[in-house]
Structure 1
Amino acid sequence: MDVQDYEYYEARAKNVKLEDITSTQHNADILARLRDYDPEFTYISIHEDERQDDYYDFAVREGDNLGWLGYFVGRSKQLRGLSIDNFPDNLNIDAFLRGLGYNRSIESLSIYTDLGGSFKSLVPFLRNNSSLGDLTFSNFDIGLQCARNIALLLGQQSSLKCLCFEETNLGDEMFVEIAAALSKQPQIEELNLNASNIGRNGCVALGSMLEGMRNPNLATLYLGYNDIDDEGLHTLVAGLINCHNLTTLYLHGNELITGAGLRSLTTLFQSDSCRLECLNLEETNMDNDGVAALAAGLSRLLTLKKLDLSNNLIGDQGLQALVGGLGSCNLLEDLYLSSNNMLTQSVVGLRSLGTLVQRTNIHSLFLCDDTVNDEGLQCLVDGMANCDRLKKIVLSYNNSITAVGLSSLSPFFRSERCSLCTLLLNGVSLDDDGATALANGLIGNKSLKTLEFSRSVITERGWAAFSKLLCDTSSVNNTYFSNHTLERIGGYGVHAVPSDIVEHLTFNKLQNCAAVMCKILDSHPDIDIEPLFQWKLKCLPLVVTWLEKAKPYLGYTYMCEAKETFQCRELSMVYSFVRGMPLLTVDGYRGKKMQDVQPKTKKRKFDLTYTYHE
């Protein structure tokens, strides 16, 4: 669309009948929203499918004028996102893309089809739209010619911050073409090449490109499932050392990496410019020797905050080496060690892991999928009994954990320093003994909010233990000292949570004092205030104040008590209190008189007895 073409559409835009340039009323409505700068119409999806049209879907059919569509998209100031799917072969997509080149508001563009030579028509849009930050190619195979067309597009200067190739079967030869063009995009902060099959050659090309780039701004790199081997990783590391802003590196699923490749990463970690915070090496067949090689470098990576080594072959010796390497990583918050089945035989390693959790800043620990058993859990807890930073433990799908292992958590739960908020036990078969072990262990705990499990054979006995934990109704005092922190027990697949537990958990979502009030009022219709008599009239104002504070919660979910009923309870409590006062008042008055008649120079034992009553 040159200047003349734009003037053609501009001159007719106010009078054109949208029904004449679209195939459906739905598409006409979309053009109307674009024309009228509808502030809520911020995204549009253009496709060929015959599926039912969604609010944002423009389904291209016979009768749709792509030139007009491009014009209205190009002049839009509200659009923030655009996705392009297949177009009918008999329609000219270039007419749309040339109009798109005038847009200055779109921030995210996703392309789900090979545009062929039409990629060239996107050059003005990429070059002139300073708002565009996110470009994604997804769900189509990129051949050599398509890769060259994309390389031509990416060879232009742009404002891109994120570039993603998702399920495109890119391949090493195609990526080599694109990697060369990426040297023109030093401002890119995130590059996602997960499952792109770039292999060794693609990794070498990427590493060489980054090494030769001046001041690359790359912060996040996804290279999962790309058949990267030691040689490819070695070359890549040379390029990553030049990326002084790199904070996130994903290498998961690259099973060809061995200890030699992991030692190459050590070179990166030891670089003075390395600022890596997140490292993912999940599912890389890492064994004890590999993790030992990695740990040697991690001891220098002081910026590390998240480490994922799940789905590997780490055993006791490897875990001990890892703990030794992470000892100086004081910023580490999230540690993933799930699906390392060899750890079920670990004793020393898990105990040392618990010690690491206790003396570092780890907030979340993931040990799922047959990674620990009862003995391992006991060893872990032994090491971290006084931990005060751990917020989340995930023990899901450890089928060997029983009530014995869950009982070992009690010292950790009851520690005054415990700050654990979330415990996930999904997939762990929880029976009455396990439920009782957890409930008894949580007595006195004031941090845990979520106890989640999905498989349970809990009967009335097990649920009764949870009910007593949340609200011990044997006395007002015991209700007061019940658990008012837990907000969730159970999870997906657990449908038989008793109503009283649901009620108590709902109360716990209030502030602690409010939860106490609701539970006491709900569980004790007639509150015995006789124990308060020992403090005499001093407690009467406190009782009245407490009742006043309780009134706002009468209508809260389960507190459906009528105001008249509550007033009766209030009067009954005050009456009971005052009725107990005369005897105390008489005793106090008599004691005062006896003191007045005694000589002030002498005090006998009898006087002291009445002094007590004052």
Structure 2
Amino acid sequence: SVASAVSAGDWGLGAKALLGLEGQEIKKGSELNEVSDRFQHRHHQQARRRRSKAEVDQRAVVDRRTRSCYHPISRGEEPSRPIASPVAPPTQQRLSALLLSPHSFMSSPAVDCNALEATTSIEDITGNEHNQDILRTLQNDELSQLWLCRPALSEDNQDYGLGSSRELEWLGHFAKKSTRLESIGVSGSGAFGNCSGHSVDRFLDDIGKCNHIEKLHFMNTDLAEIIYKLGPAMKNNSRNHFALKGCYLGVPEATFLFNTFVDMNSLEDLYIDGDEEEGISHLNDGAMAGCIPSLAACTGMRSLKLNYLNLSTNSCAALRGVFPRMATLRELVMRGNSLDDDCTRLLAQGLSDCKQIQSLDLSYNRISDDGLDVLVRRLPTSVDILFLSGNDIALARHVLLLRFEVLNISGNTLCPGGTGVIAASLANPECRLEDLNLNRCNIEDEGAATLAEGLRNNQRQTVMSLGGNNISERGWNAFSSILCDASSINDTYNSNHTLQDLGYYLIPQDVKMILRLNKDKNKSRVAANKILQSHRHLDMRPLFGRELGLLPYLVAWLDHFAKSRPDLKLSSIFEFFRAMPMKVANGVVRNAKGKKRKLNS
């Protein structure tokens, strides 16, 4: 019927029904096209009347942007012709040719994949061998992730380059039946440029029916092309990961997207990242503050990343009200926004109930020493990873940095006394730091020496990145005596055996060699190797506290650690025995002066 044909989006069949030509060959293509055009026009008018005026205004820009994407004819291009089914009657083939002529403004007719699957081969769907491999793998339920792009990009990144609506519909057909497909992504703008709007709708609807897909990714994509069509694909309860990277995102798109999150209470990982170099000027703090409350529905959120979105005080205030609903939050990333010290107070207040949060990344904002102090004192004790790269931190006053295991303050210009603040924390026995990134922090030689001294008795720090700090050989050598103090065997034994990496490849070879020794998990072996390399002759006098009782241990130690140094074995044992006669003589004298022991008969 006319109604069923139109509701299915088949304008040609609707036109035939109106003309009473069902089951007949069409001889007058112009007459059919004229009636079909009227059907499209009337259908769109009815659809517009059903929309509210606000919705029409909101979609006006999107319609203009997507018209060229979904209708190749409007760009002056000839649309891709679907391959006719081998069982299609001549009437259908000629009708398809008429409907897809360059003079027509209609989309490709829908493909009944269920009916044609048994008689359609992969080669019938696409002639591209790379796409054939992907389709075949998907059909055989062996594909775990599927990325879509425009054909020009597929050769470089091995994604599926969409060439026609027919391909997209078959992809959706196979995807909805898959039990192994876990991730779908769209890369680059114009990925659906060769596809009709109806085929995109059908594909996203099919994706929404697959309960095994967990992750949706969009990278460098103009979301205005498809944003209002994503609802069916996003709202499936199996979706727990949603990522946007470098995508166009204006206020209308962001509003629609965040409103959709209200129906995604299964969402665990949300990643929205704007343009790292230029930011997203289309968004502002006020607009994002209006979007963020929708995230309160995502009570299972574990990782939240909102980067380069112009977030500031208003957005942080909105997040403060949302965080108490995210009891399972483990990671929060807000890089490249406009966060200041006041924002850190708001965030710390909101995160106070997130007892499982472990990592916080506020890099490339405007946070100073005051904001750092707020984070140190007010963040939940579960937070042991803090990234504050590229802020305004100078460490001009004392701040205890004991609580974190990983701290990144690279790209902050520290004041002359800043390294002293860090060294004081490193020397504190309660310091938990293991990985400290100080790249590009204006440290230089004097600061390097200060940091090295702070590590003298530190037994936890394994990585300290110091690249880009204008440190000369003199500054690097300050670490040499800390890592291997050759003043005596005891000093060597008590040196720092924990630090393994200074994060810079242009350091003196002797320092690099000692760092390599420290990577051995057996710290007794590390100490022994340093002793053997630093002391040509071993001074035995410090070992005489236990007299002859120490000899078996000395022999065992030399046998275990000095296998390649027979000269050291002999000289050490000789030195040991050379000092023993005086010890024995002194013992005899002491016994002679004592009382005689009564012999038992």
**TM-score under structure 1 length normalisation:** 0.67
Q: Could you tell me which of 169, 185, 188 is aligned with 1:167? A: 188
Name the SS for the 1:250 alignment partner.
strand
Letter in 2 for 1:584: K
Deviation per residue, 1:444-475 (Å, 9 max, x gap): 11122222233243334312211111111112
- Report the Cα offset of residue 166 of structure 1: 0.8
| Contact 2:271–2:305 (Cα < 8 Å) also in 1 | yes
**Alignment partner, residue 63 of structure 1:** none
The secondary structure found in structure 1 opposite 2:273 is: coil
For residues 123 and 477 of structure 1, the distance between their equivalents in structure 2, rounded to whole angstroms, comes to: 65
Per-residue CA distance 1:582-608 (angstroms, 9 max, x = gap)? 333333334344443499xxxxxxxxx
Q: Within 2, Cα distance between the matches of 1:257 and 1:178?
A: 33
After TM superposition, give the deviation of residue 486 of structure 1 in Å. Answer: 1.6
Q: CA 1:438–1:276 in structure 2 vs 1: closer, same or farther (change >3 Å)?
A: same
Moved more, 285-294 or 445-454: 445-454
Give the match for residue 356 of structure 2.
331
Contact 2:445–2:475 (Cα < 8 Å) also in 1: yes
Instruction: Render the CA deviation track for 1:161-207: whole Å, top value 9, x for unaligned.
Output: 211111133489956564334323332111111221113x8434323
1:506 equivalenced with 2:505 (yes/no) = no
Deviation at 1:517, TM superposition (A): 0.9
Alignment of 1:437-586 (within 5 A): 437-491=450-504, 494-495=505-506, 497-510=507-520, 511-552=522-563, 554=564, 566-586=565-585
3-state SS of 2:325 partner: coil
- After superposing the two structures, state which structure 1 stretch, 237-246 or 278-287, moved more: 237-246
SS of the aligned residue for 1:423 comes to: strand
Within 5 Å, give how 1:76-155 maps onto structure 2. 125=136, 128-138=139-149, 140=151, 146=164, 149-151=167-169, 153-155=171-173
In the TM superposition, residue 117 of structure 1 has moved relative to its aligned partner by 11
Residue matched to 1:396: 410
Alignment partner of 1:187: what SS? Answer: coil
3-state SS, counterpart of residue 313 of structure 1: coil
Deviation for aligned residue 1:245: 3.7
- Structure 2 counterpart of 1:220: 241
Pair 408,530 (structure 1): closer, same or farther in 2 beyond 3 Å? same
1:367-446 equivalences in 2 (<5 Å)? 367-375=388-396, 378=397, 381-382=399-400, 384-385=401-402, 387=403, 390-398=404-412, 400-446=413-459
SS at match of 2:326: coil
User: For the residues of structure 2 that align with 1:186 and 1:168, how far apart are their CA atoms?
Assistant: 27
Give the direction of change, closer, same or farther, for the CA distance of 1:122–1:274 in structure 2 (3 Å limit): farther
Alpha-carbon distance in structure 2 between the residues aligned to 1:161 and 1:437: 51
Q: Cα distance, 1:128 vs. partner?
A: 3.6
Whole-Å separation in 2 of the counterparts to 1:126 and 1:523: 61
SS in 2 for 1:222: strand
Identify the residue that residue 231 of structure 2 maps to in structure 1.
207
Q: Following the alignment from structure 2 to structure 1, what is the Cα–Cα distance between the partners of residues 438 and 201?
A: 45
1:295 maps to 2:320: yes
Per-residue deviation at 1:525?
Answer: 0.9
Give, in angstroms, the shift of residue 122 of structure 1.
8.8
State whether residues 309 and 336 of structure 1, in contact with CA within 8 Å, keep that contact through their aligned partners in structure 2: yes
Tell me the equivalent position of 2:3.
none
Q: For residues 306 and 582 of structure 1, what CA distance do their matches in structure 2 show?
A: 67
What is the CA-CA distance between 1:283 and the residue it aligns to? 0.3
Structure 1 position 530, deviation (Å): 1.0
Question: Within 1, Cα distance between the matches of 2:246 and 2:130?
Answer: 27
Change (3 A) 1:583 1:436: same
Relative to structure 1, the CA distance from residue 573 to residue 171 in structure 2 (aligned partners, 3 Å threshold; closer, same or farther) is same
Residue 354 of structure 1: aligned partner: 376
SS at match of 2:249: coil
CA contact (8 A) 1:425 1:452 kept: yes
- Partner Cα separation in structure 2 for residue 547 and residue 524 of structure 1: 13
How far, CA to CA, are the matches of 2:586 and 2:250 in structure 1? Answer: 91
Amino acid at match of 2:171: L
| Whole-Å separation in 1 of the counterparts to 2:146 and 2:484 | 54
Q: Which amino acid aligns with 1:395?
A: I
Q: Which has the higher contact order (CA 8 A, sep 6+)?
A: 2
Q: For 1:311, which of 318, 323, 336 is the aligned residue?
A: 336
Q: C-alpha separation between the residues in 1 aligned to 2:173 and 2:586?
A: 97
Is contact 1:368–1:394 with CA below 8 Å preserved after alignment?
A: yes
Distance 1:226 1:460 in 2: 45
Whose Rg is larger?
Answer: 2
TM-score (norm 2): 0.68
1:423, distance to aligned residue in structure 2 (A): 2.1
Alpha-carbon shift at residue 343 of structure 1 (Å): 1.3
Secondary structure in 1 aligned to 2:230? Answer: helix
What is the count of residue pairs matched by the alignment? 459
Match of 1:158 among 177, 193, 203: 177
For residue 263 of structure 1, report the CA deviation from its aligned partner: 5.0
| 1:180-191 matches, cutoff 5 A | 180-191=205-216
User: Residue 137 of structure 1 contacts residue 165 of structure 1 at CA under 8 Å; is this kept in 2?
Assistant: yes
Q: In structure 2, how many angstroms separate the alpha carbons of the residues matched to 1:431 and 1:350?
A: 23
The answer to whether the Cα contact below 8 Å between 1:229 and 1:257 also exists between their aligned partners in 2 is no
Q: Aligned with 1:251: secondary structure?
A: strand
Deviations 1:330-356 (A, max 9, x none): 22222211110x213x51x21111124
* Structure 1: distance between partners of 2:581 and 2:384: 58
In the alignment, residue 579 of structure 1 is paired with which amino acid? R
CA contact (8 A) 2:292 2:315 kept: no
Quote the Cα distance in structure 2 between the aligned partners of 1:139 and 1:204. Answer: 20
Aligned pair in 2 of structure 1 residues 179, 531: CA closer, same or farther (>3 Å)? same
Q: Counterpart of 2:386?
A: 365
Mean CA deviation greater in 222-231 or 168-177: 168-177
Identity %: 26
Match of residue 196 from structure 1: 221
Residue deviations 1:559-580 (CA, integer Å, cap 9, x gap): xxxxxxx223222222222232
* Alpha-carbon separation, structure 2, partners of 1:161 and 1:193: 15
SS in 2 for 1:438: helix
Which AA in structure 2 matches 1:574? I
| Distance in 1 of aligned mates of 2:553 and 2:163 | 82
Unaligned 5+ runs, structure 2? 1-118, 154-160, 275-279
1:265 to partner: Cα distance? 3.5
Q: In the TM superposition, what is the alpha-carbon distance from 1:209 to its structure 2 partner?
A: 5.1
What is the CA–CA distance in structure 2 between the aligned matches of 1:440 and 1:120, rounded to whole Å? 60
Q: Is the 8 A contact 2:172 2:204 kept in 1?
A: no
Distance change in 2, residues 1:461/1:538 (3 Å): same
The answer to whether the 8 A contact 2:464-2:502 is kept is yes
